[in-house]
């Protein structure tokens, strides 16, 4: 299982849709971007070891719109 809390500068981007989870982490999917500048508990669990081992797996996606130039930490 993998879950993240993240912050970002809300002056630079706007969340433009719902958080969706990757197919490998669809057990107990969580996550909210309802508060500007915060992505809370985004992630999920897998029903086994991700396969094939050693590969990259999509945890979640979140559509955004950039509002200004700048650097997100």
- pTM of structure: 0.82
Q: Phi and psi at residue 23, in whole multiples of 5°? A: -65, -25
Predicted pLDDT at 1: 86
Given a cut of 80, whether residue 73 has pLDDT beyond it is no
Predicted pLDDT at 14: 95
Given a cut of 90, whether residue 62 has pLDDT beyond it is yes
Residues 3-33: pLDDT tens digits?
999 999 999 999 999 999 998 888 999 999 9
CA distance 36 to 21: 20
User: Tokens in use for 54?
Assistant: 């050693």
Given a cut of 80, whether residue 50 has pLDDT beyond it is no
By C-alpha distance, which of 52, 10, 12, 55 is closest to 34? Answer: 10
CA distance 38 to 35: 6
């Amino acid at each position: 299982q993998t879950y993240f809390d993240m912050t970002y500068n809300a002056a630079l981007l706007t969340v433009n849709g719902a958080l969706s989870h990757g197919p490998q982490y669809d057990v107990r999917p969580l996550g909210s971007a309802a508060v500007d500048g915060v992505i809370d508990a985004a992630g999920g669990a897998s029903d086994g070891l991700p396969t094939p081992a050693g590969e990259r797996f999509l945890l979640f996606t979140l559509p955004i719109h950039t509002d200004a130039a700048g650097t997100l930490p």
